[in-house]
Structure formats: C-alpha cells, structure tokens
C-alpha cells in the first residue's frame, strides 16, 4: 500500500511512476487526494464536536460531586443532542475513509527509477548471465519423459491422488528434492539467515499484509471453514512475523529463511507451458527475507541477488538475470530481478527465482516500523524477499541438462546431500 503522504504531496509524480507499470486507473490518484482532503476536514469537525461533548460530560461529573444535581441534569440535554450530530458525521467519516482505502489498496507499488517501461517479457532487461548452455544430442528427453524413464517423477499419479499439476516424486527423485532443500537451507544459514519453520496456512490479515489479498485472491487455495489460505510462498508467513512490530534499528538487517511447500491455483494457465514441472500447483521452495533500513535496501537487494546466483553456480546451471519491466513486475514490488535457468531439452528459459525490493509497500500494510535514531520517530522499514530457490523447475532443468547415456549426473555440490552421484 502506497503511503498517503506521498500521494498527497506528489500526486503527479505518483501518476508518472504508475504509468511505467502500465497502471490504467490513474484517476484513482486524484480521487484519493480529493477524498483525503474531505476526510481530514470531516475529522476536524468531528474531533471538535467530540471535544465539546466530552468536556460537558466532565462538567456534569464535577457538578454531581459538588452536589448540584439539578444543574447537572439540565446539562445532560446538550451532549445528547451533540451525539446525534456526531453519529451522522461518524457515518460519513467512515464511509469516506472506506472509499479512500478501497482506492488506495488498488494502487500497485511505484517502480524504482531504473525500471524500464514496457509490458512484454521482451521488455525485460537482461542484466547478466552465467554458465554455459549445454549441447545436448538430438534425442535428449524433456524432464517429464526422463521422470518416467527413471521412475523418479510421476505426474499421472499426482492426478490420481489429487489433480493435475500435483507432482509425485519417487525414490531418487524424492531424495533429490530433499537434498536440494537441505542444500538451500544450509547455504542460507551460511549467508546469515535464521532458519524458520512457519505455518503453511495463513489467515486473512497475513495474506492482506504482504499483498496477496485482495489482488491475488483467485490464485490462492482457500480453506473456507476456517478462513485460512494455503501459502503461495513462504514470503507470506516469514514477512508477517514482523507485522505490527516496531523493531530496533540495531536489529537491521533482519534475515530469515524458510522452507515450505507453495500452493498456487494457477487459474488460467494451459498449454505446453504447464507440461511436467514447468507450472505446478504445489512445489517446494526455500525463501529468503530481509528487513532493512530504507537507506540500505537496494544494496541488500544486490546482496540477495548474488546469493541466488551463487546457488545456481554451485548447481552448475546456466542462468540469466532479468530486471523486470514495469508491466511485468508484480503488484507489490518496486524492483524485481527474475532469475531463469536454461532447460536444454525443452530449449526454454524457466523462471526459478524472483528477488524483489518492496520498499515500504508491504511494511505500510504490515505496520512494520523502526525508530529512527535521529528524529526519534517511527518510520516504515523496507522489506525484501527472494526465492533461493524454487525446486520444481530447478529439478526440471537439472534432469534435462545433466542427462547422459549412462543416466542423470548429480552436480558436485549436491552429492553430499543426495548420497548418490547418478540417477540411472
């Protein structure tokens, strides 16, 4: 959620920035400015009335104490009359506040100044790349066929148990998953993150605070009976740990990491994009989250990006780093880097990580603040997160790129975790 003060002070600039994200409803900004003005004038009026009513009540109390019953009784009429006025004004105030809020939550975050305009994946900027694209022979198999061939991945079984898009990993496939999770968690710990095991279901407040609600409601699985949501990413519980907190500046940077399965409905996806592990309803992911001082968040973003790149290098996977254009970056982020690996049998890039700085967009909803040393006032902290890494697609790339006539070769860094060197 954007900060009201920014909209109030620089509405034109806000609109300019929103245009880069191709946000079509720029009139919302003007409407908010108007509503805000109205809201504040009503609040002044309301506060004055409340003040009047309150002081009369105090007076009545005084009179009773002095034994002046009749005078007290006589005074009771005035606050009673004021109350009607106050109630009306309050209704009005609440309605306007609600209208303002409804508009405010529709505005996406403002993109950072380096975010390119655009709305197509082609408009994303390749920042750098790493690793060598593997040369596979013509009869190289896509990962879903490899999964079947070596009996390590069964999509059809998942359909039987649950539905399409719920993979089942078997034998060395399952062990590979577990190895990757452990590897990623160990790497995160070495990088200074505290490991957390959060709940996999969250309540509405949490889903709202990180921006999943109301924007992406349709993308989450919903437990209707208890009003819980299955998490689409560990970002939600990990960041919400700090909801309604005023942290100490000395605690920065706060670094937490956690492994969770992620559940996504992926409504509207179809075709070859969703084959095998390319797009599934449940996948495993290790997420890293940092909470920092606003002055340092962009340095932190680079640090997190480097961490994820390091993982891909250790896994010997070819990758590229994209700076997302305005139209392609998410609702809540100010700047996002996507990392993609090249899946050589499919001959396509797969997104395996997304590293974002949300600046104060999430913390404003979270009410996550810190006390500024100099001004002694509370300020919103910056939140960041990144996948480090998302498993399903990593596995897809790994299987495809490392296939040999003898079997699928496990990268060196993973062997101490898998306990085997080859899947055959």
Partner RNA sequence: GGUGAGGUGGGUGAGUGGCUGAAACCACCAGUUUGCUAAACUGGCGUACUCUAACGGGUACCGCGGGUUCGAAUCCCGCCCUCACCGCCA
Q: Which residues lie near RNA (CB under 7 A)?
A: 4, 36, 40, 43-44, 46-48, 50-51, 53-58, 60-61, 64, 76, 79-80, 83, 246, 369, 371, 377-378
Q: Which is nearer to RNA, 19 or 247 (CB)?
A: 247
CB 266 within 8 A of CB 230: no
Least distance in angstroms from the C-beta of 83 to RNA: 5
Residue 128, number of CB atoms within 10 A of its CB: 10
Q: Which is nearer to RNA, 61 or 214 (CB)?
A: 61
Q: Which is nearer to RNA, 137 or 248 (CB)?
A: 248
CB 322 within 8 A of CB 304: no
Least distance in angstroms from the C-beta of 31 to RNA: 16
Q: Which is nearer to RNA, 13 or 64 (CB)?
A: 64
Least distance in angstroms from the C-beta of 299 to RNA: 25
Least distance in angstroms from the C-beta of 366 to RNA: 13
Q: Which is nearer to RNA, 77 or 151 (CB)?
A: 77
Q: Which is nearer to RNA, 80 or 160 (CB)?
A: 80
Specify burial of residue 19 (Cβ count, 10 A radius: 0-12, 13-18, 19+).
middle
Least distance in angstroms from the C-beta of 246 to RNA: 6
Least distance in angstroms from the C-beta of 64 to RNA: 5
Q: Which is nearer to RNA, 114 or 250 (CB)?
A: 250
Least distance in angstroms from the C-beta of 105 to RNA: 16
């Amino acid at each position: 959620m954007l900060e009201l003060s920014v909209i109030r002070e620089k509405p034109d600039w806000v609109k300019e920035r929103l245009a880069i994200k191709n946000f079509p409803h720029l009139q919302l900004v003007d409407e908010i400015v108007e509503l805000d003005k109205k809201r504040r004038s009503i609040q002044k009026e309301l506060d004055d009335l409340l003040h009047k009513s309150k002081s009369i009540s105090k007076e009545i109390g005084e009179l009773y104490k002095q034994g002046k019953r009749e005078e007290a009784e006589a005074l009771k009429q005035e606050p009673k009359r004021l109350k009607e006025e106050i109630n009306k004004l309050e209704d009005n105030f609440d309605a306007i506040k609600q209208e303002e809020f409804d508009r405010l939550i529709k505005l996406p975050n403002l993109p950072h100044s380096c975010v390119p305009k655009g709305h197509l994946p082609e408009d994303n900027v390749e920042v750098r790349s790493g690793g060598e694209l593997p040369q596979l022979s013509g009869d190289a198999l896509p990962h879903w066929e490899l999964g079947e061939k070596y009996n390590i991945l069964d999509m059809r079984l998942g359909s039987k148990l649950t539905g399409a898009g719920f993979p089942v990993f078997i034998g060395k496939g399952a062990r590979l998953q577990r190895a990757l999770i452990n590897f990623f968690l160990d790497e995160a710990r070495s990088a200074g993150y505290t490991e957390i095991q959060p709940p996999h279901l969250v309540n509405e407040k949490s889903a709202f605070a990180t921006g999943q609600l109301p924007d992406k409601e349709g993308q989450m699985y919903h437990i209707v009976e208890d009003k819980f949501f299955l998490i689409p990413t560990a970002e939600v519980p990990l960041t919400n740990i700090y909801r309604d907190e005023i942290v100490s500046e000395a605690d920065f940077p706060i670094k937490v990491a956690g492994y969770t399965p992620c559940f996504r409905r992926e409504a509207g996806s179809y075709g070859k994009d969703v084959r095998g592990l390319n797009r599934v309803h449940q996948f495993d992911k290790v997420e890293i989250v940092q909470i920092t001082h606003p002055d340092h968040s962009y340095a932190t973003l680079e640090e997190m990006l480097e961490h994820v790149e390091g993982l891909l290098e250790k896994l010997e996977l070819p990758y590229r780093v994209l700076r997302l254009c305005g139209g392609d970056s998410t609702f809540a982020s100010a700047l996002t880097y996507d990392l993609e690996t090249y899946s050589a049998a499919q001959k396509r890039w797969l997104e395996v990580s997304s590293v974002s700085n949300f600046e104060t967009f999430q913390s404003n909803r979270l009410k996550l603040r810190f006390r500024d040393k100099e001004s002694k006032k509370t300020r919103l902290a910056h939140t960041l997160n990144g996948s480090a890494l998302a498993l399903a697609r990593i596995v897809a790339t790994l299987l495809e790129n490392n296939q040999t006539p003898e079997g699928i070769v496990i990268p060196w860094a993973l062997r101490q975790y898998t306990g085997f060197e080859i899947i055959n």
